């Protein structure tokens, strides 16, 4: 299995531009999570999906952030418009169950820099 | 509000030494405590986990010590190796609910 695949690995964009991050979860996993990692706040859960349905988006910082999961094999996290404070590493993770005892499988992340 | 507080932020250990990372929590309903290991450019990966019905769990050179009354748990890495150099995250959850992660500890093992 190729694991959780995220793209792009790195993204540099100008303030005000739209940014789209992509994730392909492990085949067969039915839960998908988007996390943001910063030095100051560590790992923050932004949103999670179960069976392609958004369950909890309370971690989404503001309306500029949106996430979709059109099918079981693909999800996007969009920031529009982007701001310098959005600079972080964004991780996607998937799991077999909603909150499994055996942990999530994380992707390698997308490092976003907004200048 | 940080649900899980982790210390130290960074740690430097000589090869062969013991690395100790500590975490504390407040929510007594937490019943699952995993540790994740993250190498540069990679996502976190589950390393070892414990439930509060035991006070210690060991897997190879990695041991979790759990003190339920103090609401603390720690990761011990015995015979630390340069290959252990990574960022370590503790986490806590109530089974069936989300994980709360600590802010991470950057471990450097000097040869």
Q: How many residues does chain A have?
A: 115
Residues from chain B that touch A104, judged by Cβ atoms under 8 A, are 46, 99
Give pLDDT, residue A22.
98
Give pLDDT, residue A42.
83
Beta carbons of A98 and B96 less than 8 Å apart: yes
In this structure, the number of other CB atoms found within 10 A of the CB of residue B28 comes to 9
Q: Is the pLDDT of residue A19 over 80?
A: yes
Each residue's pLDDT tens digit in chain B (111 positions)? 678 999 999 999 999 999 999 999 999 999 999 999 999 989 999 999 999 899 999 999 999 999 999 999 999 999 999 999 999 999 998 876 778 899 999 999 999
Give pLDDT, residue A112.
98
Give pLDDT, residue A101.
64
Q: Of the candidates A43, A106, A109, which has its C-beta nearest B45's C-beta? A: A106
Q: Which residue of A has its CA nearest to B35?
A: A103
In this structure, the number of other CB atoms found within 10 A of the CB of residue B94 comes to 14
Beta carbons of B34 and A103 less than 8 Å apart: yes
Q: From CA B26, how far away is CA A29, in angstroms rounded?
A: 31
Q: From CA A100, how far away is CA A21, in angstroms rounded?
A: 25
B42, B44, B50, B88: best mutation site toward chain A, by most A Cβ within 10 Å?
B44
Q: Chains A, B: CB contacts under 8 A, how many? A: 50
Chain A 40-79, residues with CB within 8 Å of chain B CB atoms:
41-43, 45, 48, 56
Mean pLDDT computed over A51-79: 94
Give the pLDDT confidence of A43-52 residue by residue, as tens digits.
899 999 989 9
Beta carbons of A99 and B45 less than 8 Å apart: no
Contact A76, A21 (CB under 8 A): yes
Beta carbons of B102 and A42 less than 8 Å apart: yes
Residues from chain B that touch A91, judged by Cβ atoms under 8 A, are 43-44
Q: Of the candidates B43, B97, B101, which has its C-beta nearest A99's C-beta? A: B97
In terms of DSSP bridges, do strands B33-38 and B10-14 run parallel, antiparallel, or are they unpaired? unpaired
Beta carbons of B98 and A107 less than 8 Å apart: no
């Amino acid at each position: 299995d190729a694991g959780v695949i995220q793209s792009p690995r790195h993204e540099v964009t100008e303030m005000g531009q739209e940014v789209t991050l992509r994730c392909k979860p492990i085949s067969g996993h039915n839960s998908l999570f988007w996390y943001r990692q910063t030095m100051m706040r560590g790992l923050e859960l932004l949103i999670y999906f179960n069976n392609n349905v958004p369950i909890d988006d309370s971690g989404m910082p503001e309306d500029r952030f949106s996430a979709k999961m059109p099918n079981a094999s693909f999800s996007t996290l969009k920031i529009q418009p982007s701001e310098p404070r959005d600079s972080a590493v964004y991780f996607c993770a998937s799991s077999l169950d909603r909150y499994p005892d055996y942990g999530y499988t994380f992707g390698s992340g997308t490092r976003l820099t907004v200048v | 509000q940080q649900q899980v507080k982790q210390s130290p932020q960074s740690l430097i250990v000589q090869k062969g030494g013991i690395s100790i990372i500590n975490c504390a929590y407040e929510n007594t309903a937490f019943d699952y405590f995993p540790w994740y290991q993250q190498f540069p450019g990679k996502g976190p990966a589950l390393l070892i986990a414990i439930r509060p019905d035991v006070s210690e769990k060991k897997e190879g050179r990695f041991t979790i010590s759990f003190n339920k009354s103090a609401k603390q748990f720690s990761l011990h890495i015995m015979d630390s190796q340069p290959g252990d150099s990574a960022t370590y995250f503790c986490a806590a959850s109530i089974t069936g609910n989300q994980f709360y992660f600590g802010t991470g500890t950057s471990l450097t093992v000097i040869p």
